[in-house]
A and B are shown apart, each in its own frame.
Chain A
Amino acid sequence: MWIYEKKLQFPVNIKNPDPNLASLIITQFGGPDGELTASQRYLAQRYSMPYKEVVGVLTDIGTEELAHMEMICAIVHQLTRNLTEEQIKNSKFAPYFVDHTTGLYPVAASGVPFTAAYFQSKGDAVADINEDLAAEQKARVTYDNLLRLVDDPDVCAPLKFLRQREIVHYQRFGEALREVQDNLDYKNFYGYNPEFDKKK
């Protein structure tokens, strides 16, 4: 089970609200490569994973993604705090405001609501870890794209931290894939699925 710690993994202290920026950054909450889908992907995949090192990676990265989701929500919240109706009216945040006011709801930058179809849990160690490697790279690109559009250093700092974590997670998933393959027949990695077939 989980215990909540009353802290962010990295500080978020944004002085100037910016509703346009909020409507872009929210994609890392509820978008196709966001932190919500990341956490649910890894935490769902670990139950049938037979290798304890890999279960450790899925559990600990999945847990860290929950903390990243909280950081993204903190950024969006601080960017939409104390807005005037005039500021909202003249921003791209207005359609979101109509449905959710300034509450946090998981959507993509395009406005599409979160769906579990963004992630897969295939029940096959090679397929799942490859999905995870791709997911970390896609999240890294999303942070790169956001950082192209952000000037405020208060917003850049946590985004740069989160981008860096994607790279570290990619490295760890690479090691997890090696662990999986070391347990399989090196002549045919696909000869049997260690999450389903009995070991020969």
Chain B
Amino acid sequence: MNGSNNNGRPDCGDLLYAVQMYGFVLDEARLFLDTHPQDQTALEYYSKYGELYRDAVAKYESSCGPLTANSPVSTMGGRWRWIDGGWPWNGPNE
């Protein structure tokens, strides 16, 4: 995570880290909301971070490939891109 760019292009590791960060915020808030479904502060929090999560996913996918198979970028470029770009359990260097 050094925030550096490669030829002006955003780094996929950084973009993924943002998705993981906002994704975990939602995972944590979701559990709280399950047992506090009327909590207005938590509802606003979930809504705000939901938007940041969706933005982070869109940025990641447009530069680095699909995060889910039914992403609009899976079918771009005349190839099924879902299987490209490595699998998460191999880490970023494979």
The answer for the CA separation of A39 and B84 in the assembled complex, in Å, is 23
Q: Is A47 located at the chain interface by the 8 A CB criterion?
A: yes
Measured between beta carbons, the chain B residues less than 8 angstroms from A52 are: 83-84, 87
CB distance from B31 to the nearest CB of A (A): 13
Number of residues from A at the complex interface, CB < 8 A: 10
B47-74 interface (Cβ within 8 A of A): 68-69
Q: Which of A3, A47, A53, A60 contacts B89 (CB 8 A)?
A: A47
CB distance from B92 to the nearest CB of A (A): 16
CB distance from A171 to the nearest CB of B (A): 17
**B interface, how many residues as a size bin?**
under 10
The answer for the CA separation of A60 and B23 in the assembled complex, in Å, is 21
Q: Is A56 located at the chain interface by the 8 A CB criterion?
A: yes
CB distance from A46 to the nearest CB of B (A): 8
Q: Quick one: which of B23, B82, B84, B87 has the most chain A CB within 10 A? A: B87
14 examples of A-B residue contacts, CB within 8 angstroms? A1-B23, A3-B68, A46-B87, A47-B89, A52-B83, A52-B84, A52-B87, A53-B83, A55-B83, A55-B87, A56-B82, A56-B83, A59-B87, A60-B69
Report which A residues bind B (CB closer than 8 A).
Answer: 1, 3, 46-47, 52-53, 55-56, 59-60
Report which B residues bind A (CB closer than 8 A).
Answer: 23, 68-69, 82-84, 87, 89
